[in-house]
Structure 1
Amino acid sequence: MTTRPPTPSRRALLRALAALPAAALVLGEAPGLLGTALAAAPAAGAATRYTIVPFLDSDDGTVNVYQSDDATDFRLLRSAAYTPPSNRIRDASVFKHTDGYYYVTYTTHTWQDPSLTIGFARSSDRANWTFLYDYPVPITNLSRAWAPEWFVDSDGSVNVIVSCSTADDEWIFTPYLLRATNSALTAWSSPVALSGIGPNHIDTYIVKIGSTYHAFTKNETAKYIEYGTASRLAGPYTLTKTGDWAGWGSYREGPSVIQLDNGGWRIFFDGYGDGTYYYSDSYDTFATWTAPKGLPGISGTARHFTVIKETVTGGPALTKNATRSLRSANYPTRYWQEQSALLNLPVVSGSSAAADKQAATFTVVPGLADANAYSLRDASGKYLRHYSFRARFDADDGTSTFARDATFIARTGTTSDAIRFESYNYPGYYLRHYAYELRVERPDGTDLFRQDSSFVPVSPWA
């Protein structure tokens, strides 16, 4: 039996039901609720889209734009998408404003040089960016203004949290709050230090759930990402988790927190000490976290980013309460087929035996854990689920664990008619074939994995 992510308690779900987070990621995202009518998976014909705008480990003068439908497998949207007219671009934070534009704010100088401004640019499509202005942060005796992070509060106000130091000690940073005083984001309030976090903290990222502000901030002395809460955006914050409290290790920075489609929360952070970009998930409102994993594909290339999440049109859809067969996208003579309760990928053709055709035919139904997602049944009524990462068919035992194991979120495949099936309770893990067996595995960032995990729904064999 594999180790499973923690399951949200009923009490946690009830708290989430009453909460409406407005995080630094996107305005108006409601929390995902596992197993409730407020499903977090995208509806048929819609898709989730995560966007990041990191600068490169090899070049802090430009940024790439990547997108993902699962917050794990990021693909390049445009390389060198934005280069400022002067200075550098580091630590870019991105959000989508109510005017329909995407905005980035960023550090304008290298770490060696004084940096008295933060930069702003905007885009209508995330691929083409226009420089707006460099904003001089009005702090007396300022030495460095670093890592500005967007935060949109539940009242709609747009804020930037920026880490600043003064010439008295250029390496002791304090987080300050700037609030936009016009909708064009060209005028800002006077900086206010976040109370309670204190000096020598940098890269402060804030998420709001209900009436509570949750801050993730790097202790620049200890090199750990710490955590605290407050009832007001400006504080006072109480830092309750310090040291290696989450098991992420030291020399970590640039935290960014986003909610996943299954209701869990994911943190991304830059492991600058070992050159790896990490992610880790929580299912109990940030109390515990899964072991950190390197982000496939872009780890070692991307540096310090934040994430926005959107629901967009054009997602894959399967007709529910209908029978289908599933054909491999890259081995078109091979189909899903149940063999001794396991899901394999043999050749199926018109000359195959009737029993083989029946074993390659499945009923698509609403997901057991999320009605917007999908579950699949065989002819006997058993459900496709993962167990020890192997795809198999078992009778529903009525437990929430089984329901999550047997639920999959449809993601876009490598061809227009193909679908990828993401595990509901192991975000970022997909059904893929290997040696003609179906397993649930994590992407490695390659096109081969994407092809191996893409399947085309076709007319049923039986």
Structure 2
Amino acid sequence: MSDRSGPPGPSRRGVLGAMAALTAGLTLGAPSARAATGTSYVMGYFTESPNGNGSDYGLHLAVSTDSLQWTPLNQNNPVVTPTGGTGGLRDPFILRKQDGTFVVLATDLKGTDWSLQSQYIHVWDSTDLRTFTNYRRLKLHDMATHSWAPEAFWDAGRGRYGIIYSAVNSSGHDVIMVNYTTDFVTASAAQVFFDPGYDVIDGDLAVGVNGMNYLYFKKDQTLVGARSASLDPGSFTVFSTPVSHGGTEAPILVKSQTSSAWYLWGDTYTPNGVFYAWQSTDLAAGTWTAVDQRLYTQPLNSKHAAIQAITTTEYNNLLAKWGAPAWNRLKSYNYPARYVRHSNYVGRIDEYPFDPYTDSEWKLVPGLADSAGVSFQSVNYPTRCLRHYNYQLQLDVNDGTSTFAQDATFYRTAGLADTSWSSFRSYNNPDRYIRHANYVLRIDPLSTSTDKADATFWVGY
């Protein structure tokens, strides 16, 4: 959740997006007694978009086999929505408990009315993240204040789970609080977990890393780290160099299980909700280098997410239960913050996010002139497809003519700038490819490396 000293917006654990160019593992708090094995992951989040077209305050899920590219489940609709409190959630967190089952925690707040203070958080139990049971609200704080961005960890020394969250204490500013529980039904009295003397929110823990515990949090508009050899409340001291990309909040620490790399994620605190990532080979050093945005793609409209490692079987079961989207998004190779969309029926690439967000959703259907190719059918204007006209791409109604079918058909090839990406060659102008020029889409012959980069796209969600 956002603190009161900056632009409003609850926050936490942005990911968002993904981790490394290598298959990465995830450490969220302490490892459980039955931690998942394999290379699959689940992300929990809620959604917001700039004008609210894509805002939904239920629990959304996405899955990934590499923690980089994410598949939203249930057509990016919520899989469960709170029925108590404000009737909505922010900042969901997924913990695999010691018995191998899951608990889901979330802020009790629907929308962005920060005056709605709640001492409670939403809680669900789940054996498999396909069904959610025992919905309840758990009271954390005795003061009339918020209980924002809850996260849980196993404290082996206490034999209990700790729930940390952001709240105003008697100090009069935001601190990180902690309550202890064995069942997420009742909890101990609140204690101050971390208070450096100024507003801090959005705590995220990595527990037991070479004998040290690390807590990252939002200070002003940056992400900052503290550390302690114990998990005792009050024992953490600040040590890291702040990082940010504009105004950043919602940190999440991620450890690669295939290398020495650590990743720190942050989320912009505006409703625009863009995830950014940094990396380090030494968590103890407290310094970070930005990760290339080409390496990850966050789920559409996702905000303040959490990631939990799951097994391959759990991954397959979640896909079977909820299904993958019936649409795709296309990301520019050399402008990875921009996605293919239509605007005033013109094809172009624009910086994410934007509304209507559905302008960037496409069904890649069999080519209208050759089923071996593809045509780009608009999701929000399903009678229209992208076609070239005077070499510029525009969104036109399919008039059923052979000319339209040919203009709207393209052959998908290995990416001209990166073979793991995609390029699209025109059906009836086979020497030309879809590319962007001044952010507008057109078909052109290609010769230079810049041309080829302009013509390369990532097809994902």
Same fold (TM over 0.5): yes
| Structure 1 segment 133-144 matched on structure 2, within 5 A | 133-139=136-142, 141-144=143-146
Amino acid at match of 1:252: T
2:23 is equivalent to residue 27 of structure 1:
no
1:311 positional shift: 4.2
Q: Partners of 2:420 and 2:312 in 1: how far apart? A: 29
The C-alpha deviation readout for 1:232-266, integer Å capped at 9, x for no partner, is 21232111225xx34x3341111111222323222
| Structure 1 segment 344-355 matched on structure 2, within 5 A | none
Amino acid at match of 2:199: N
Against the structure 1 CA distance between its residues 127 and 267, is the aligned structure 2 distance closer, same or farther, given a 3 Å change threshold?
farther
Against the structure 1 CA distance between its residues 143 and 435, is the aligned structure 2 distance closer, same or farther, given a 3 Å change threshold?
closer
Q: Partners of 1:439 and 1:85 in 2: how far apart? A: 43
Q: Which deviates the most, 306-315 or 267-276?
A: 306-315
Against the structure 1 CA distance between its residues 279 and 25, is the aligned structure 2 distance closer, same or farther, given a 3 Å change threshold?
farther
Residue in 2 that maps onto 1:266 = 263
1:292 positional shift: 4.2
Residue in 1 that maps onto 2:359 = none
Q: Partners of 1:48 and 1:101 in 2: how far apart? A: 18
- Pick aligned residue for 2:277 from 270, 279, 284: 279
Against the structure 1 CA distance between its residues 439 and 123, is the aligned structure 2 distance closer, same or farther, given a 3 Å change threshold?
closer
Q: Partners of 1:207 and 1:437 in 2: how far apart? A: 35
Q: Partners of 1:268 and 1:147 in 2: how far apart? A: 15
Residue in 2 that maps onto 1:64 = 60
Amino acid at match of 1:446: V
2:160 is equivalent to residue 157 of structure 1:
yes
Residue in 1 that maps onto 2:92 = 92
Residue in 1 that maps onto 2:116 = 113
Q: Which deviates the most, 297-306 or 207-216?
A: 297-306
Against the structure 1 CA distance between its residues 207 and 254, is the aligned structure 2 distance closer, same or farther, given a 3 Å change threshold?
same
Residue in 2 that maps onto 1:231 = 229
Residue in 2 that maps onto 1:434 = 415
Residue aligned with 2:82, SS:
coil
1:25 positional shift: 6.6
- Check the 8 A contact 1:52/1:65 in 2, yes or no: yes
Q: Partners of 1:439 and 1:153 in 2: how far apart? A: 42
| Structure 1 segment 414-429 matched on structure 2, within 5 A | none
**Where does structure 2 lack aligned partners over 5 or more consecutive residues?**
1-18, 21-25, 49-53, 317-412, 423-455
Against the structure 1 CA distance between its residues 261 and 148, is the aligned structure 2 distance closer, same or farther, given a 3 Å change threshold?
same
1:440 positional shift: 8.5
The C-alpha deviation readout for 1:6-39, integer Å capped at 9, x for no partner, is 9xxxxxxxxxxxxxx9742742599xxxxxxxxx
1:84 positional shift: 0.6
- Check the 8 A contact 2:69/2:296 in 1, yes or no: yes
Q: Give TM-score, length-normalised by structure 1.
A: 0.56
Residue in 1 that maps onto 2:214 = 214
Residue aligned with 1:205, SS:
strand
Residue aligned with 1:82, SS:
coil
2:170 is equivalent to residue 174 of structure 1:
no
Against the structure 1 CA distance between its residues 201 and 436, is the aligned structure 2 distance closer, same or farther, given a 3 Å change threshold?
closer
2:41 is equivalent to residue 50 of structure 1:
yes
Q: Give TM-score, length-normalised by structure 2.
A: 0.56
Residue in 2 that maps onto 1:147 = 149
| Structure 1 segment 310-329 matched on structure 2, within 5 A | 310-312=310-312
- Check the 8 A contact 1:23/1:153 in 2, yes or no: no
Residue aligned with 2:205, SS:
strand
2:131 is equivalent to residue 128 of structure 1:
yes
| Structure 1 segment 387-406 matched on structure 2, within 5 A | none
- Check the 8 A contact 2:33/2:100 in 1, yes or no: no
Amino acid at match of 1:278: Y
Amino acid at match of 1:135: L
Q: Partners of 1:135 and 1:254 in 2: how far apart? A: 22
Residue in 2 that maps onto 1:348 = none
- Check the 8 A contact 1:258/1:307 in 2, yes or no: no
Residue in 2 that maps onto 1:419 = none
The alignment of Structure 1 onto Structure 2 pairs a total of residues equal to: 291
Residue in 1 that maps onto 2:445 = none
| Structure 1 segment 359-378 matched on structure 2, within 5 A | none
The C-alpha deviation readout for 1:188-240, integer Å capped at 9, x for no partner, is 12111024534410001111213211010101xx2111111112212321112
Q: Partners of 1:51 and 1:69 in 2: how far apart? A: 9
Percent identity between matched residues is 20
Against the structure 1 CA distance between its residues 55 and 292, is the aligned structure 2 distance closer, same or farther, given a 3 Å change threshold?
same
Q: Partners of 1:260 and 1:202 in 2: how far apart? A: 25
- Check the 8 A contact 1:24/1:206 in 2, yes or no: yes
1:272 positional shift: 2.4
Against the structure 1 CA distance between its residues 120 and 53, is the aligned structure 2 distance closer, same or farther, given a 3 Å change threshold?
same
**Where does structure 1 lack aligned partners over 5 or more consecutive residues?**
7-20, 31-41, 317-431, 449-462
Q: Partners of 2:417 and 2:140 in 1: how far apart? A: 59
Residue aligned with 1:189, SS:
coil
- Check the 8 A contact 2:154/2:162 in 1, yes or no: yes
The C-alpha deviation readout for 1:276-312, integer Å capped at 9, x for no partner, is 1122222122533231455744356111112112344
Q: Partners of 2:303 and 2:418 in 1: how far apart? A: 36
Residue in 2 that maps onto 1:191 = 190
- Check the 8 A contact 1:23/1:152 in 2, yes or no: no
Q: Partners of 1:165 and 1:271 in 2: how far apart? A: 22
Q: Which deviates the most, 222-231 or 158-167?
A: 158-167
Amino acid at match of 1:259: K
Q: Partners of 2:421 and 2:108 in 1: how far apart? A: 42
- Check the 8 A contact 2:138/2:184 in 1, yes or no: no
Amino acid at match of 1:190: A
Q: Partners of 2:457 and 2:79 in 1: how far apart? A: 24
Q: Which deviates the most, 126-135 or 200-209?
A: 126-135
Residue in 1 that maps onto 2:446 = none
Q: Which deviates the most, 81-90 or 103-112?
A: 103-112
